[in-house]
Amino acid sequence: MPGDPPVSSRPKRPSLAAIRQRRLAVALIAALALALMAVTITTAVHALFGGTTPDATATTPSPSPTPTPLTPEEALLKTAADPTKACAVSFRGDGIALAPMLQTAGVLFTGLPIPERAGSVFAGWYPTPETAQTQTQTDRVNGSQLTTCVGHRRTLYAAWVTPEQNTAAGSKIPILMYHWFTSKPGGEDNWLRGNYIYIEDFRAQMAYIATSKFYLPTWDELNAFIDGKLYLPPHSVIITDDDNEPTWFQLAVPVVTEDKLLATSFVITSTRQEGSPSAYVLQRSHTDDMHRAGDNGKGRMVNLSADEVAADVEKSAQILGAKEVVAYPFGHYNVTAEEGVTKAGFPLARTTEYGMVKIGTPKLELPVVRVNYGDTADDLKRAIG
């Protein structure tokens, strides 16, 4: 059209703002491509070398929570040589602040503590607070019983009496002394005939003790009783046998085991080193090599020096693994023998003299109730009540 300016054939040049937008878009696309390539490469490397793909959103891990401290019972159980039989026994009651003790299920309770409290006499451990209050003798727990527990734990509760109650009870504890046994109703026909107990008489005597529910003290309980620190029921008895003679093992041990009666076998360790024949039989010292005559016809225990006596009974204690009580061979003892026993660290020694143990009885002169051939269950009942 006349008067209009001519139209240019060249493309219109984009504005500066449009150019900037294009460059920004290209840069973003390039950055995304690089990031995608980095993730792809990292994943491939981790897969090649057995790793795992890192979590791009992962943050610094939180610290692990502090573990709950073990209870004293749990810590104790971790120390057990045989966890399947371990039992952590705890102690409760007035005046009791004792750590738990590790015991072994199926084995006699060992070394149960005998606590002390001013103005009181310890009266034993019981399975519940209620039984500790009533102090029923048959509920009392001690080392004459096999350890039992639930979930590897057991709690025992303390009972107490006053010193006046302890004295008023007037408990007298018989220590029965047996020697050998025979299956012959007429007994053995020799000069030691009196030492042989007819096994059926023994069986009847043990049945009387079991059915009458006598309390069976341990030696550490007897030791504390003598000091007036532990109450023992008047209806108590200790069963012992001397000499580790074969008929004891063959005839008598099955009886005390069947009746679940704690018994002590006084062993001459120069002739026997084997372990106990029963879970209910304690083996204690009848000396190592002093059960024979000395120069004056009496036992070697009253012929040797105190140091020699101490060395002998110390050897027997090492073999037996216990140092609670020693039985004098033939019942022979004197001041020197007592000195030797004391030097070796034995707190108690048993004689063959007749009597019962009371509060204050000399600990190295414990008397006995000897059981002889012909003694029946009725005779035993008359002797010990």
- pLDDT tens digit sequence for 226-252: 999 999 999 999 999 999 999 999 999
What DSSP element (H or E) covers 368?
strand 366-370
Show the CA angle centred on residue 355, arms to residues 354 and 356, nearest 5°: 145
pLDDT reading at 105 higher than 80? yes
The CB density around residue 207, as the number of other CB atoms within 10 Å, is: 15
Bridge partners, residue 12, by sequence: none
pLDDT reading at 2 higher than 50? no
Single out the residue of 198, 195, 196, 204 nearest to residue 185, CA to CA.
Answer: 198
- pLDDT tens digit sequence for 266-309: 999 999 999 999 999 999 999 999 999 988 889 999 999 999 99
The CB density around residue 257, as the number of other CB atoms within 10 Å, is: 15
Q: What residue segments make up the domains of the chain, in order of their start?
A: 76-162, 170-384
Give the CA radius of gyration of the chain. 41
Bridge partners, residue 370, by sequence: 177
Between residues 175 and 19, the one the model is more confident about: 175
Question: Rounded to 5 degrees, what are φ and ψ at 182?
Answer: -140, 150
Q: Considering the domain delimited by 170-384, tell me its CATH architecture.
A: Alpha-Beta Barrel (3.20)
State CA 86 to chain mean position distance. Answer: 9
Dist. CA 275–CA 283, nearest whole Å = 8
Task: Return mean pLDDT, the chain.
Answer: 89
Q: What pLDDT is attached to residue 123?
A: 98
Bridge partners, residue 326, by sequence: 285, 349
Dist. CA 153–CA 193, nearest whole Å = 50
User: 3-state DSSP call for residue 62?
Assistant: coil
Please report the sign of the dihedral spanned by the C-alpha atoms of residue 342, residue 348, residue 353, residue 356.
positive
Give the torsion through C-alpha atoms of 379, 330, 222, 209, to 10 deg: -20
**Residue range 298-321: mean pLDDT, rounded:** 97
- pLDDT tens digit sequence for 142-198: 999 999 999 999 999 999 999 999 999 999 999 999 999 999 999 999 999 999 999
Fold of the 76-162 domain: Immunoglobulin-like (2.60.40)
294-325 in b/e form (b: 16+ CB < 10 A) is eeeeebbbbbbebeebbebbbbbbebbebbbb
Q: What pLDDT is attached to residue 39?
A: 47
Single out the residue of 102, 46, 96 nearest to residue 73, CA to CA.
Answer: 102
pTM (2 d.p.): 0.82
Angle between helices 306-320 and 335-343 (to 10 degrees): 50
Single out the residue of 72, 131, 125 nearest to residue 102, CA to CA.
Answer: 72
Residue with tokens 């005046």: 95
Question: Rounded to 5 degrees, what are φ and ψ at 294?
Answer: -95, -165
Which amino acid, one-letter code, is at 296? N
Say if CB 337 and CB 312 are below 8 A apart. Answer: no
Dist. CA 367–CA 355, nearest whole Å = 5
Dist. CA 175–CA 93, nearest whole Å = 31
